[in-house]
Structure 1
Amino acid sequence: MTHSADRIARYTAEGWWTGDTIDQLLRAQVAARPRATAIVDPPDKTIGPPKRLTWARLDAEVDRVAGVLHARGVGPGDVVAVQLPNSVELAVIFLATVRLGATVTPFPVQYRAYELGLLLPLSGATLLVTGPQSRAPEGTPTLSWPADLEGVTAAEAPSRTADPAERVTICWTSGTEATPKGVPRCHYDWLAVAAICAAAPGLTAGDVILNPFPMVNMAGIGGVLLPWLRTGATLVQHHPFHLPTYLAQIADEQVTYTLAPPALLTLLLLQGVTVPPSLTRIGSGSAPLPPSMVKGWQERHGIAVINFFGSNEGVTLLSDPERMPDPEVRARYFPRPTVPGVRVKLVSPDGVEVTEPGIPGELRLSGPTVFAGYLPGTAAVEPFDEEGYLRTGDLFEIAGDHGQYLRYVDRAKDIVIRGGMNIAPAELEALLAGHPSIAEVAVAGYPDEVLGEKVCAVVVPQGEISLESVVAFLRDKGIASYKLPERLEIVDALPRNPVGKILKRELKL
């Protein structure tokens, strides 16, 4: 999917979209600060020794890897799948692929044969770049880092001028459907996201950003990777998540800004963890944050927690400390966008626009951050309404006591968010329906103080059933380990509404 000529003309006239591209951002930083530190590996890196690259060395590495990819036949319009942990290599592969005019489709390292076998054909990827332990289905063309890329050189890739409307990524979003939807994005809309996500925390070239979120979707790419390129800050990668290492990196690298899930911030506050003085802002979300947590971080540590609400499709709402200095207000509300080009409305279930406070309605959004449409063949429903607004599926209301704000009400979809990773219950339910000892099943999340949510399978049995057998059944299907249920509840019947829909809010978790 591509943006229409009318849309490009509109957002170009409003100053949102320019001729800039992601590769131009990189080259600008190289020219401005070639010897400054650009990117740093985690100390417990899993695919080779840790690296620390200047902007000049990063650019040279991007050139080298672009040549290797080009030698493997990668060119404009091709799709390169990437499955690597947060590392220097992940950033290099991303930037090298974009430099060639190809598209990156990134996958979490937790994905196994089941997910890759489903999504690789949908993406049209001609190559998978992965680590030493590839989980690719048999017959998939792969490049393994470090074996096939470390120290390997090839002829220089041809130079080219990128069109900012060309596709640069296909990310994947799990909704209520079992099959994820492909979300293509181009330079135009990604760089609009980057502008907002860099402005909210006030990022500059002097910042050091610690990234613990996988660079596979809006949080990792829009919230970290592109703001880093836009500002020329230093990016410190973190993976796998390990709290002592995370805290040590903040101190050792003099980190000024990081992202963290709300449950982790609450836990750290309760534990009274000492926070290095370099850290001044934290991004978190996406939903209402506990007001006591946001207030606690500000009052105890002088650290502003920025509330993010985003989606792969382009929703980008941020409650930043400059516009919303009161931490409790910032935790509960999001400012109603008032900048030119960004339009928001709430629509009730019967299709009427909501204009009064306190009445929930679906958030619908139109603006320069919104994508052009799902990858053909991956979504059955048109994501836009008749006026061109994105149907988000998330319920908000106009705040009665703060009319200029929106208040998040509920997640219209059933997504379970575990440690920053989205899990579609429908996918697990569809697989578990084939378990010989399960008559009916519902999958839902339940709170966890560190991960945010864990997965519970609620089943009506038709034979002997245990959590171990459920997990083993899903493992045999090749499902990623982070999606596996940690809890099993046995019930006589699932709660349903009059038309037979399972009422997950009534599950006793």
Structure 2
Amino acid sequence: MRPSPPERVAEYRRLGWWRGETVDALFRRGVAVQRGAEALADAPNREALVGSAPRRLTWDQADAAVDALCHALAGLGVGRGDVVATQLPNLVEGVLAFLACARMGAILSPVAMAYRGHELRQILPVVEPKVYLTVGAFHGCDHAAMLTELKREGVTAAEIITLADEAPDGAHRLSDLIAQASTAPYPTTADLDAAEGLTICWTSGTEAMPKGVPRHHDHWVVNGEALVEAAGLMPGDTVLNPFPLINIAAIGGMLMTWLQCQGRLVQHHPFDLPIFLRQMQEEKVAYTVAPPAVLNMLLQNEALLSATNLSALRCLGSGSAPLSPWMVKGWQERHGVTVMNVFGSNEGCSLFSTGEAIPDAEQRARFFPRFGAQGVEWPAQFPAKIRTRLVDLATGQEITQPGIEGELRISGAMTFDGYYKAPDLTRAAFDDQGFFRTGDLFEIAPDGGGRFYRFVGRCKEIIIRGGQNISPAELDVLVESHPKVREGACVAYPDERLGERVCAVVALKPGVEALTLDELNAHLKAHDIATFKLPEKLRIVEALPRNPLNKVLRRDLGGVAAS
């Protein structure tokens, strides 16, 4: 599998955007430099999650473990170009599986732990994995048993490997395979090209079926390079990864960042705040990511923060929802930590509001640099590898003036080339200039001197009330700033007269018994927002529905709002 056309590979390598270096070559460089230094660490709660003790590996040990896994996979018939599917929590083994595929020339296809038979019946026949690596019982589901049943149904012919002590009939225990594997170095695939496929990750959009996003080594290497530069990371830094290793956020933003830094990658799963803070202190973490709601809460709990030594922490990535300016400013002024606003997707459309590009904390919360926009230059190297433009959805014309909403479209070194075995979806995903249609509305910020984008909302999430467009993302930040609200999101509900109206769906803070619509709207009015944006319905829930990356599933709130 070669995801990129040969002409694109040749052009990007001529420009120096892609270097033709494989992930395995990058890993081997780290091994040669770091050797006995610690490379990988599990979360301390691993045993409670999967029944086995946490692992810590040096670079040398990780290299030997990758060789052993390569031999084990090869023994089950995995070769160059074959697919290895994984369904794992954030464990050391997930990283080793990625590196083993990179060494063998195989293709890793990781799926979310939350996926069950419904999603796997859609995915597995498409990628046809030779091997499926998973765990046993995890959060009420025996994944190895589930895969065994799917194999009986004929959904997949994959060999099933489990990390558990007991394997279902017909499945293999990883410990047995490793014990039987050769201890010799796995033969290097000498002619492996960095343009050969390495991963097929899965993303969900407006389509019912998950979409495969294929990427090659060059894609992943440049993603790691960009994040290291954006976050200001240094050689040997420790990165704490709370994202599941299933897509660009974790693989590009965490795993590849670790490889570029030749430091340590510390795993965390599922998100548990006390363990997260403990790891940040004990592992001396320089960079990690956290949802805006968590960063808001921590900043409001100085007692909790003061009990945690965060002296090694320099940068926090955050995104998936608008950031509050007071929060970004507070972390910077009170703790000397840069909060970097991140916009991106599995398809690779990435913008980073870095401390270098936007030194002002409040601006950094509100804006994204116009990386790749014609006539706008930036001091860092990675923005030159990105191309962006705004397009009016009604006219198709490119927007160059501030204050006009349009769809962000993006291309460049980090953007994928098309969905796996889905030509119709691929054609619809790109415009006639080859730019990926992100489905996100931005504007050129009127008060940014033409250098910044401002996120407006998802094209299909916009609430249209009586002909007026309302960004639910804009309202979310204000709703969540109410002192009684733990988390909140706004969504449309149908109205015969106006088409749509706004419903606020909120979860209250512990100890708060009630919140009225009048109370909420009084708070919103204090922020001087337009009256047509005010919610006309309020629904109280225990928690907002979120995907594995902690992003609010706004579409799932439609039924709540309509009730």
Question: Could you say which TM-score interval applies, normalised by the shorter chain?
Answer: 0.7 to 0.9
Deviation string, structure 1 residues 349-393 (Cα, Å, up to 9, x no partner):
121111110101111111011111101138635211111111111
Q: Distance in 2 between the 1:146 and 1:505 partners?
A: 39
Q: Distance in 2 between the 1:44 and 1:293 partners?
A: 29
Return the offset for 1:251: 1.3
Listed as ranges, the matches of 1:401-480 within 5 Å are 401-402=447-448, 403-413=450-460, 446=505
1:44 corresponds to 2:45: yes
| Corresponding residue of 2:276 | 246
Q: Distance in 2 between the 1:305 and 1:131 partners?
A: 35
| Corresponding residue of 1:149 | 174
Question: Are the counterparts in 2 of residues 201 and 281 from structure 1 also a CA contact under 8 Å?
Answer: yes
| Corresponding residue of 1:380 | 425
3-state SS in 1 of match to 2:39: strand
| Corresponding residue of 2:348 | 314
Listed as ranges, the matches of 1:69-80 within 5 Å are 69-80=73-84
| Corresponding residue of 2:482 | none
1:279 corresponds to 2:324: no
| Corresponding residue of 1:14 | 15
3-state SS in 2 of match to 1:306: strand
Q: Distance in 2 between the 1:448 and 1:152 partners?
A: 49
Q: Distance in 2 between the 1:508 and 1:317 partners?
A: 34
3-state SS in 1 of match to 2:101: helix
1:265 corresponds to 2:295: yes
2:402 to 357, 362, 387: 357
Q: Distance in 2 between the 1:449 and 1:195 partners?
A: 40
Using the size of structure 2 for normalisation, the TM-score is 0.74
Return the offset for 1:449: 8.1
| Corresponding residue of 1:236 | 266
| Corresponding residue of 2:325 | 291
3-state SS in 2 of match to 1:42: coil
Deviation string, structure 1 residues 313-335 (Cα, Å, up to 9, x no partner):
11110011122111111111111
3-state SS in 1 of match to 2:114: coil
Matched residues, percent identical?
45
| Corresponding residue of 1:188 | 218
Q: Which has the larger radius of gyration?
A: 2
Q: Distance in 2 between the 1:371 and 1:287 partners?
A: 23
Matched AA of 1:400: P
- Larger RCO: Structure 1 or Structure 2 (Cα < 8 Å, ≥ 6 residues apart)? 1
Return the offset for 1:406: 0.8
Q: Distance in 1 between the 2:388 and 2:363 partners?
A: 20
CA pair 484-30 structure 1, distance change in 2 beyond 3 A:
closer
1:164 corresponds to 2:194: yes
Q: Distance in 1 between the 2:269 and 2:368 partners?
A: 30
1:369 corresponds to 2:373: no
CA pair 364-95 structure 1, distance change in 2 beyond 3 A:
same
2:102 to 82, 98, 105: 98
247-256 or 79-88: bigger deviation: 247-256
CA pair 160-483 structure 1, distance change in 2 beyond 3 A:
same
3-state SS in 2 of match to 1:82: strand
Matched AA of 1:52: R
1:130 to 118, 134, 156: 134
Return the offset for 1:9: 1.8
3-state SS in 2 of match to 1:49: coil
Return the offset for 1:124: 2.1
Return the offset for 1:153: 3.2
Return the offset for 1:138: 3.4
Listed as ranges, the matches of 1:111-122 within 5 Å are 111-122=115-126
| Corresponding residue of 1:453 | none
Q: Distance in 1 between the 2:12 and 2:54 partners?
A: 41
Question: Are the counterparts in 2 of residues 103 and 169 from structure 1 also a CA contact under 8 Å?
Answer: yes
Matched AA of 2:163: W
Deviation string, structure 1 residues 161-184 (Cα, Å, up to 9, x no partner):
321100101111100111111100
CA pair 340-270 structure 1, distance change in 2 beyond 3 A:
closer
| Corresponding residue of 1:471 | none
Q: Distance in 2 between the 1:483 and 1:378 partners?
A: 28
Matched AA of 1:281: C
Question: Are the counterparts in 1 of residues 418 and 426 from structure 2 also a CA contact under 8 Å?
Answer: no
| Alignment root-mean-square deviation, CA | 2.9
Q: Distance in 1 between the 2:553 and 2:19 partners?
A: 46
227-236 or 114-123: bigger deviation: 114-123
CA pair 487-120 structure 1, distance change in 2 beyond 3 A:
closer
Question: Are the counterparts in 2 of residues 238 and 246 from structure 1 also a CA contact under 8 Å?
Answer: yes
1:390 corresponds to 2:465: no
Q: Distance in 1 between the 2:203 and 2:406 partners?
A: 22
Q: Distance in 1 between the 2:110 and 2:504 partners?
A: 25
Return the offset for 1:26: 0.6
Q: Distance in 2 between the 1:373 and 1:210 partners?
A: 30
How many residues are paired up? 441
1:326 corresponds to 2:360: yes
Q: Distance in 2 between the 1:17 and 1:52 partners?
A: 32
Deviation string, structure 1 residues 385-417 (Cα, Å, up to 9, x no partner):
111111111111111111111111102245999
3-state SS in 2 of match to 1:152: helix
Deviation string, structure 1 residues 84-117 (Cα, Å, up to 9, x no partner):
1111111111111221111111111122222222
Deviation string, structure 1 residues 252-283 (Cα, Å, up to 9, x no partner):
11112111011111111122221422222111
Deviation string, structure 1 residues 300-345 (Cα, Å, up to 9, x no partner):
2111111111111111100111221111111111111144442211
Matched AA of 1:390: F
Return the offset for 1:240: 2.0
Greater helix content: 2
CA pair 259-340 structure 1, distance change in 2 beyond 3 A:
closer
Deviation string, structure 1 residues 10-49 (Cα, Å, up to 9, x no partner):
2111111112111111100000010111011111103311
CA pair 14-357 structure 1, distance change in 2 beyond 3 A:
same
3-state SS in 2 of match to 1:369: coil
| Corresponding residue of 2:391 | 347
3-state SS in 1 of match to 2:352: strand
Q: Distance in 2 between the 1:249 and 1:227 partners?
A: 18
Matched AA of 1:412: C
3-state SS in 1 of match to 2:278: helix
Question: Are the counterparts in 2 of residues 181 and 378 from structure 1 also a CA contact under 8 Å?
Answer: no
Question: Are the counterparts in 2 of residues 65 and 153 from structure 1 also a CA contact under 8 Å?
Answer: no
CA pair 11-380 structure 1, distance change in 2 beyond 3 A:
closer
CA pair 379-190 structure 1, distance change in 2 beyond 3 A:
farther
Question: Are the counterparts in 2 of residues 287 and 308 from structure 1 also a CA contact under 8 Å?
Answer: no
Return the offset for 1:60: 0.3
| Corresponding residue of 1:177 | 207
Q: Distance in 2 between the 1:271 and 1:449 partners?
A: 17
